[in-house]
């Protein structure tokens, strides 16, 4: 099967670019002695990708219980479920762990920590610390209260400098990475000074993982979007535009010469309505037009509008209805989530594999 | 099973509200003699909903080949696939029709029309006409060229006044509905004057279906979003906020008293990043907070920010982690598409059924 033959819209994943992106991150983390890479599978949601990103069933991060189950059954036992846990979800985690997994949860809430401590099943937790993102987590100085409530279920400290996505230069990224590191280490030290055992000190985002000057005191780094890349990450300097491994294959379904536009069968569902690049230096609308080979053949052409199943691309030459194109996404995690599987190519148009995804919750 | 026991995030569909919305639209279309309602299943993507919306396997509209296949196998033979067809997709449609379905396609392109005419399989098509939306379709006066290219595969005229979503009063909606009707009828008349047989004259959107003063010359009306409703449609006056049948059930995963916010386990994936209400009179962020019973118990509370799996709701009281809430969506079609199934309730918290969806393409 070749890309020309695939029903559209569909995801295309370029294996060569994926491997290059994985090697780049592995090398970036290998700069730091005794720091392990714990890839975040929220982007790929695929065992086939995990074989490459976390080979030998290495440690991973997950964002849903569906991922936790899917990867545990696939052999990836060492997981952190990186979204604040609720007491109601503990039974499901404990059941996985009773079957041989080691899914660790996170919390920033002393009441939840007490529920974890009291749970009869095997569950460990990390205390989520906020180093400036302003999403989940307690300030580093407040980690001790939550950690104490966990009792002997304490596994470590967890943080995520999501505000690195607001950084606009390598220097800013390096500065945010240092704040992330220092906050996590300060929280870990406070716990240790209180006599608690802190095994894991975990941080990460793709930008800070690549830009950290040093990671003293950190045991592991998490990152996910680096595997595929996207137009937003490219503008952060995380990678080049040519390093975007995942694109959407679409067909022309209409021609509008009066406005220099083509209608495509990839719209709001196939691309997502994410507009991450809206506030980036270059606004790519709902995606950048590439040719069927993934090359930037249409200067300045964007997906300018989307409806549920329609996308409008402009300015474009009037290709035939049925002609196939590819679209680089704003935010690869959200675009991928709209699709059932990847059509894997390796630089050409030949589809060498179809890789499933574990969607939903 | 009760809503308290469902893993979150999850879709909740209220059967009583759904039935009320269906009856409202059925009554609106029944005002017009000899006009058939052809519900658009792109929103619900569910046979169980189609049993109510298009009872007796009545005519339906679909937005993907996956829907066409799923509903044809479920007994809904009379379909219009309402997204411009490509020559490459004709074999799939012909195969369904050879199995007993009557899936009609649409096109606005004379080359595609010629490909339809030349296809060996049983396929009929409608000419897509643009009545002002500026998406797909030819102007009414240009329909004849495409219709002629279809030869004896011509089934009729198809239009969609999607720009009715920009209307802000009943009077504007009624005016747009009349432009939609007049354009479709003008195109049909031009074809008939040229000696062509025009069996179907199809138009529709939820707003124009409800607001049309008369539908002389029209044979059928399409609409989809009316089944579930959403915050955007409520502001168009299509229905009341209390008529929103589909909501997202979420759990509190964190408490941020300093900013009066709760973190929820419904984020960009579970809600979608659709911001339809951004330009409406009232901007509801990424959704409006309701209590577990679907009632507006939190004055002015919205989902103000989303990450992949995190949503932030404010201003909110500091409920316990694990507490369950519901969120009314901006755009029900996109929110529903992120989920595998509906948890059906009938006014209470008891889950009386789980209804599947046909996602992807």
Q: What is the pLDDT of residues B232-248, one digit of tens each?
A: 999 998 999 999 999 99
Average pLDDT on A178-193 reads 97
Asked if the Cβ–Cβ distance from B83 to A310 is below 8 Å, we say yes
Q: Are the Cβ atoms of A265 and B83 closer than 8 angstroms?
A: yes
**A-chain residues within 8 Å CB-CB of B92?**
7
Check CB contact under 8 Å for A361 and B9.
Answer: yes
pLDDT for residue B323:
98
**pLDDT classification of B252: cutoffs 50, 70, 90:** very high
pLDDT band, residue A166 (cuts 50/70/90) = confident
How confident is the model at residue A212, as a pLDDT? 93
pLDDT value at A186 more than 90:
yes
DSSP SS3 for B2: strand
Q: Quick: pLDDT tens for A226-281.
A: 999 999 999 998 999 999 999 999 999 999 999 999 999 999 999 999 999 998 99
Range scoring the smallest mean pLDDT among A68-82, A166-180, B219-233, B330-344:
A166-180
Q: Which residue is it, tokens 């239009």?
A: B159
What pLDDT shows up at residue A164? 82
Which residues in chain B are closer than 8 Å to A228, comparing Cβ atoms? none
Which one, of A126, A131, A142, A149, lies nearest residue A202 by Cα? A126
So what's the pLDDT on residue B167?
82
Q: With beta carbons under 8 A apart, name residues in chain A contacting B314.
A: none
Q: How far is B148 from chain A (nearest CA, A)?
A: 18
Contacts of A172 (CB under 8 A, 6+ apart): none
Q: Are B360 and A339 in contact (CB under 8 A)?
A: yes
Average pLDDT across chain A, whole number: 96
Three-state DSSP state, B229: coil
pLDDT of residue A116 exceeding 90, the answer is yes
> Which chain A residues touch B273 with a CB distance below 8 Å?
272-275, 334
Q: pLDDT: is A24 or B166 the higher one?
A: A24
Return the bridge partners of B247, or none: B12
Q: Are A332 and A225 in contact (CB under 8 A)?
A: yes
Structure tokens at A203: 């941080």
Cα–Cα distances in Å, from A30 out to A27, A35, A171, A219, B157? 5, 7, 21, 12, 63
Which residues of chain B have a CB within 8 Å of the CB of A340? 359-360
How many C-beta neighbours within 10 Å does residue B32 have?
17
Mutation to test the A interface, candidates B41, B80, B83, most A Cβ within 10 Å: B83
In tens, the pLDDT along A321-338 reads 999 999 999 999 999 999
pLDDT of residue A192: 98
Tell whether the model's pLDDT for residue A51 goes beyond 90: yes
CA distance B195 to A70: 60
Residue of A nearest to B115 (CA): A321
**Average pLDDT over every residue of B25-32:** 96
Residues of B in contact with A85 (CB under 8 A): 253
Residue B361 three-state SS: coil
Nearest-Å Rg of the Cα atoms of chain B is 21
The alpha-helical segments, DSSP class H, found in chain B are 15-30, 47-53, 65-73, 90-98, 110-118, 143-150, 170-193, 206-211, 231-236, 268-271, 332-336
Contact A136 B273 (CB under 8 A): no
Q: How confident is the model at residue A305 (pLDDT cuts 50, 70, 90)?
A: very high
**Inter-chain touch B63–A87, beta carbons under 8 Å:** no
For testing contact with chain A, the best of B70, B81, B135 (most A CBs within 10 A) = B135
Closest CA–CA distance from residue B269 to any residue of chain A (Å)? 7
How many angstroms separate the CA of residue B36 from the nearest CA in chain A? 24
Mean pLDDT check: name the lowest of A32-41, A155-164, B223-232, B263-272.
A155-164
In tens, the pLDDT along B184-212 reads 999 999 999 999 999 999 999 888 899 99
* B86 closest CB neighbour out of A251, A310, A339: A251
Interface A-B, measured as beta-carbon pairs within 8 A, has a size of: 142
Return d(Cα A116, Cα A126) in angstroms, integer.
11
Render A234-277 in DSSP notation, one character per residue.
HHHTSS-GGG--EEEEEEEEEEEGGGTEEEES--HHHH-S--GG
- The residue of chain A with its CA nearest to that of B270 is A360
**pLDDT for res A339:** 98
* pLDDT for res A317: 98
Write the residue in B7, B42, B360 that is nearest to A65 by C-beta: B7
- The reply to whether residue B274 touches residue A270, judged by beta carbons under 8 angstroms, is no
> Are A272 and B273 within 8 A, CB to CB?
yes
The distance in angstroms from the start CA to the end CA of chain B is 31
User: What domains are there in chain B, each with its CATH number?
Assistant: 3-12+245-356 (2.40.37.20), 31-227 (3.20.20.10)
pLDDT given at position B319: 98
Predicted pLDDT of residue B71: 98
The confidence score (pLDDT) of residue A169 equals 87
| Rounded Cα gap, residues A93 and A123, in angstroms | 7
| Closest CB to B334 among A92, A273, A305 | A273
With beta carbons under 8 A apart, name residues in chain B contacting A274.
Answer: 268, 273
- SS3 of residue A132 by DSSP: coil
ipTM more than 0.95?
yes
Mutate which of B270, B322, B332, B341 to disrupt the A interface (most A C-beta within 10 Å)? B322
Mean predicted confidence (pLDDT) in A10-33: 97
Cβ contact A199:A156 at 8 Å: yes
The answer to whether B342 and B357 are in contact (CB under 8 A) is yes
**Nearest CA distance, A323 vs chain B (angstrom):** 9
> What pLDDT does B163 receive?
86
Residues of A in contact with B7 (CB under 8 A): 65, 88-89, 92, 361
Residues A96/A67, Cβ–Cβ less than 8 Å: no
Residue A308 to residue B334, Cβ atoms within 8 A: yes
**CB–CB of B106/B128 below 8 Å?**
yes
In this structure, are residues A156 and A219 in contact, taking their beta carbons and an 8 Å threshold? yes
CA gap A323, A251 in Å, rounded: 5
* Nearest-CB residue to B360 (from A108, A253, A339): A339
Average pLDDT over residues B155-171: 89
The pTM (predicted TM-score) of the whole model is 0.97
B162 pLDDT above the threshold of 90: no
What average pLDDT does the structure give for chain B?
96
pLDDT at A316 over 90: yes
Query: Cβ-count burial of B263 within 10 angstroms (0-12 exposed, 13-18 middle, 19+ buried)?
Result: buried
- Residue B195 DSSP label: T
Average pLDDT over residues B113-141: 96
Residues of B in contact with A10 (CB under 8 A): 361
Q: Which of B63, B255, B340 is facing A309, going by the closest CB pair?
A: B63
Statement: residue B93 has pLDDT above 90: yes
| Closest alpha carbon to A1 in A355, A350, A354, A356 | A350
- Find, in chain B, the residue whose alpha carbon is nearest to that of A331: B308
| d(C-alpha A229, C-alpha A174), whole Å | 19
- pLDDT at residue A28 greater than cutoff 90: yes
> Which pLDDT value is given to residue A163?
86
Which whole-number Å values give the CA distances from B203 to A264, B88, B199, B212, in the listed order?
21, 26, 13, 11
Residue of A nearest to B84 (CA): A253
Q: Report CB contact under 8 Å: B268, A334.
A: yes
Pairing of the two strands A220-223 and A36-39:
parallel
Residue A270, φ and ψ in degrees, nearest 5: -75, -25
């Amino acid at each position: 099967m070749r890309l020309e033959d695939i029903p559209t819209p569909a995801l295309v994943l370029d294996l060569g670019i994926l491997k290059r992106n994985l090697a780049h991150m592995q090398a970036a983390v290998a700069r730091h002695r005794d720091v392990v890479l714990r890839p975040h599978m929220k982007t790929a949601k695929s065992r086939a990708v995990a074989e490459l990103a976390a080979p030998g069933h290495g440690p991973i991060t997950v964002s849903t219980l569906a991922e936790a189950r899917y990867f545990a059954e696939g052999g990836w036992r060492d997981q952190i479920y990186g979204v604040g846990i609720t007491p109601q979800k503990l039974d499901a985690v404990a059941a996985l762990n009773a079957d041989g997994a080691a899914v660790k949860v996170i919390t920033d809430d002393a009441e939840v920590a007490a529920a974890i401590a009291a749970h009869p099943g095997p569950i460990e937790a990390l205390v989520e610390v906020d180093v400036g993102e302003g999403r989940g987590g307690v300030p580093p100085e407040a980690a001790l209260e939550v950690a104490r409530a966990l009792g002997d279920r304490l596994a470590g400290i967890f943080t995520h400098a999501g505000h690195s996505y607001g950084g606009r230069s390598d220097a800013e990224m390096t500065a945010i990475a240092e704040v992330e590191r220092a906050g996590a280490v300060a929280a870990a030290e406070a716990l240790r000074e209180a006599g608690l055992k802190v095994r894991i000190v975990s941080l990460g985002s793709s930008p800070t993982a690549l830009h950290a000057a040093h990671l003293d005191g950190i045991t592991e780094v998490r990152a996910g979007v680096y595997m595929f890349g996207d137009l937003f990450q490219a503008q952060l300097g995380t990678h080049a535009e040519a390093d975007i491994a995942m694109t959407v294959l679409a067909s022309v379904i209409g021609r509008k010469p009066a406005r220099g536009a083509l209608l495509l069968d990839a719209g709001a569902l196939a691309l997502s309505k994410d507009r991450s690049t809206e506030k980036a230096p270059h606004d790519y609308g709902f995606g950048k037009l590439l040719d069927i080979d993934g090359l930037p053949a249409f200067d300045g052409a964007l997906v300018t509008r989307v409806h549920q199943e329609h996308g409008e691309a402009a300015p474009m030459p009037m290709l035939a209805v049925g002609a196939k194109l590819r679209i680089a996404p704003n935010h690869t995690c959200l675009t991928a989530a709209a699709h059932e599987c990847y059509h894997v190519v390796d630089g050409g148009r030949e589809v060498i594999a179809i890789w499933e995804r574990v969607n939903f919750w």
